[in-house]
């Protein structure tokens, strides 16, 4: 139920077929929208049920594998269960089948970056690491992979832990409001689903947490806590990674390791990105990776598209693709991170409205940016325009598309003598774009086209 355009549904269908099941795929989208996923299943005898769901199909099923974004309270799942079907999800099936220790990473933001950073560090240590889960790589394809790093959303965690499974090393990057439209506005329910990452951990396991978040720091767990953060390190014996006197410092029990902070690439040395580097280091060290490999990985990690990635540094201008910043808090983190690089022009909007509070966003944007470029006519841009309205001194410039946004931003920063053009939208990509990553790619293409023409 819910093949989708990512690998989760495809991986689940392939897994079911390998177990000898007769596979039916039911999706509300038409075939043309699912062409790539259908092509990936070309060698599997699938019965396609597209463009609608039919209750009779669900009543006839022995097992229904539903995408984790579909709640188990969905009427069709309840109908199938009443007819005797077993209800599963890709991640609950993974939880039943996995036999090897693995790493799990969650957090409101930063989990993709930390997951891939940890995988990069483990690869630097000579391991054939696999990164899967919420990053659009099916975990069911990698049940026997080791080491395996799983990026885990709040909707996947209840499914993963349904059968008593927990990561050997779990990392929780940060927590703030998001996805409240999926939780009926209940922030505590969102937190509870995230907290399941440590629900079944035991004394041999590790839980990596941000030192600066009091609620996460005090999270009940049977695992050994490992703290990370750019603030001063504590003095009590334990496991922690932080910054001290210009060095990145890791205290792993009784031992202490130091590396020069200045050796990290410039985009990783600023505020929130640095926190993610420290989280990745803490996670990889807790797993048992060699300190030298962990540091090599930190210094060589290229970053991920649309996640605070510098796509160009040209004629005194930095261009930052942070298109995955879909919450006001994420934008604030990005603005604080680029503050050291001079004036900022922010590109915002271009997507949907998740019903989040933008009051702090408005104050921070008004205090930190030269101009706000609002991308097109869509719910996200309308919400940001309303949040910016009380701040009369903030210049708001509507732009039709990302090509115009880049041209206007470069002209404005050119008058300032340099600075940063930051795409940090504060909203999801749909409906203005197919998703936030397409929005990021369009930004990169516009930057490349403009700089090439100017050169």
pLDDT tens-digit readout, 239-297: 999 999 999 999 987 789 999 999 999 889 988 899 999 999 999 999 999 999 999 99
Q: pLDDT category, 455, cuts 50, 70, 90? A: confident
For the domain spanning 309-454, the CATH number is 3.90.190.20
The more confident residue out of 232 and 166 is 166
| The pLDDT of residue 408 | 98
Q: Which helix (H) or strand (E) holds 406?
A: helix 402-416
Outline which parts of the chain fall under CATH 3.90.190.20. Answer: 309-454
**Is domain 94-300 in CATH 3.40.1190.10, yes or no?**
yes
Q: pLDDT category, 135, cuts 50, 70, 90? A: confident
pTM value is 0.90
Q: Which helix (H) or strand (E) holds 385?
A: helix 379-388
Instruction: Supply the DSSP string of 239-292, one letter for each residue.
Output: EEEEEETTEEEEEEETEEEEEEGGGS-GGGSSHHHHHHHHHHHHHHHHHT--HH
Q: What is the mean pLDDT of the chain?
A: 94
Per the rule left: phi > 0, alpha: psi between -120 and 50, beta: everything else, 78 is alpha
**3-state secondary structure at position 26:** strand
pLDDT tens-digit readout, 403-422: 999 999 999 999 999 999 99
CATH topology classification for 7-88: Rossmann fold (3.40.50)
| The pLDDT of residue 352 | 94
| The pLDDT of residue 232 | 64
Q: CA-CA distance, 373 to 411, in Å (whole number)?
A: 12
Q: pLDDT category, 237, cuts 50, 70, 90? A: low
Outline which parts of the chain fall under CATH 3.40.50.720. Answer: 7-88
| The pLDDT of residue 5 | 87
The runs of H, that is alpha helices, within 301-327 are: none
Q: CA-CA distance, 109 to 178, in Å (whole number)?
A: 9
Outline which parts of the chain fall under CATH 3.40.1190.10. Answer: 94-300
**3-state secondary structure at position 437:** helix
| The pLDDT of residue 235 | 62
Residues in the chain, total: 455
Q: pLDDT category, 372, cuts 50, 70, 90? A: very high
Q: CA-CA distance, 60 to 214, in Å (whole number)?
A: 49
């Amino acid at each position: 139920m819910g093949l989708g355009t990512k690998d989760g549904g495809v991986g689940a269908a392939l897994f079911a077929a390998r177990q000898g099941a007769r596979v039916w795929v039911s999706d509300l989208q038409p075939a043309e929208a699912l062409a790539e996923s259908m092509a990936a299943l070309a060698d599997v005898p699938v019965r396609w049920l597209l463009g609608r769901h039919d209750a009779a199909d669900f009543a006839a099923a022995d097992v229904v594998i539903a995408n984790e974004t579909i709640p188990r309270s969905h009427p069709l799942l309840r109908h199938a269960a009443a007819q005797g079907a077993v209800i599963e999800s890709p991640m609950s099936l993974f939880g039943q089948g996995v036999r090897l220790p693995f790493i799990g990473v969650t957090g409101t933001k930063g989990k993709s970056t930390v997951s891939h950073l940890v995988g990069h560090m483990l690869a630097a240590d000579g391991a054939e690491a696999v990164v899967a889960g919420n990053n659009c790589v099916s975990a069911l394809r990698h049940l026997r992979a080791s080491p395996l790093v799983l990026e885990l959303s709040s909707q996947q965690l209840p499914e993963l832990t349904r059968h008593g499974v927990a990561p050997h090393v779990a990392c929780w990057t940060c927590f703030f409001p998001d996805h409240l439209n999926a939780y009926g506005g209940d922030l505590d329910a969102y937190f509870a689903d995230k907290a399941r990452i440590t629900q079944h951990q035991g004394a041999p396991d590790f839980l990596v947490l941000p030192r600066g978040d009091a609620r996460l720091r005090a999270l009940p767990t049977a695992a050994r806590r490992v703290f990370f953060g750019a603030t001063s390190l504590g003095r009590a014996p334990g496991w922690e990674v932080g910054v001290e006197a210009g060095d990145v410092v890791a205290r792993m029990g009784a031992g202490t390791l130091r590396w020069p902070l200045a050796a990290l690439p410039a985009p990783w040395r600023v505020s929130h990105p640095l926190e993610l580097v420290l989280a990745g280091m803490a996670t990889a060290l807790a797993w048992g990776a060699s300190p030298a490999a962990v540091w090599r990985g930190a210094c060589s990690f290229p970053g991920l598209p649309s996640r605070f990635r510098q796509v160009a540094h040209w004629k005194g201008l930095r261009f930052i693709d942070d298109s995955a910043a879909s919450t006001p808090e994420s934008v604030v983190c990005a603005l604080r991170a680029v503050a050291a690089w001079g004036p900022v022009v922010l590109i915002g909007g271009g997507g949907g409205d998740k019903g989040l509070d933008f009051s702090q966003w408005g104050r921070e944007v008004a205090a930190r940016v030269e101009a706000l470029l609002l991308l097109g006519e869509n719910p996200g841009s309308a919400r940001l325009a309303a949040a910016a309205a009380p701040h009369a001194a903030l210049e708001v410039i509507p732009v039709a598309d990302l090509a115009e946004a880049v041209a206007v931003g470069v002209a404005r920063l050119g008058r300032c003598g340099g600075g940063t053009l930051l795409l940090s939208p504060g909203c999801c990509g749909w409906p203005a774009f197919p998703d936030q990553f397409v929005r990021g790619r369009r930004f990169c293409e516009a930057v490349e086209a403009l700089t090439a023409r100017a050169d």
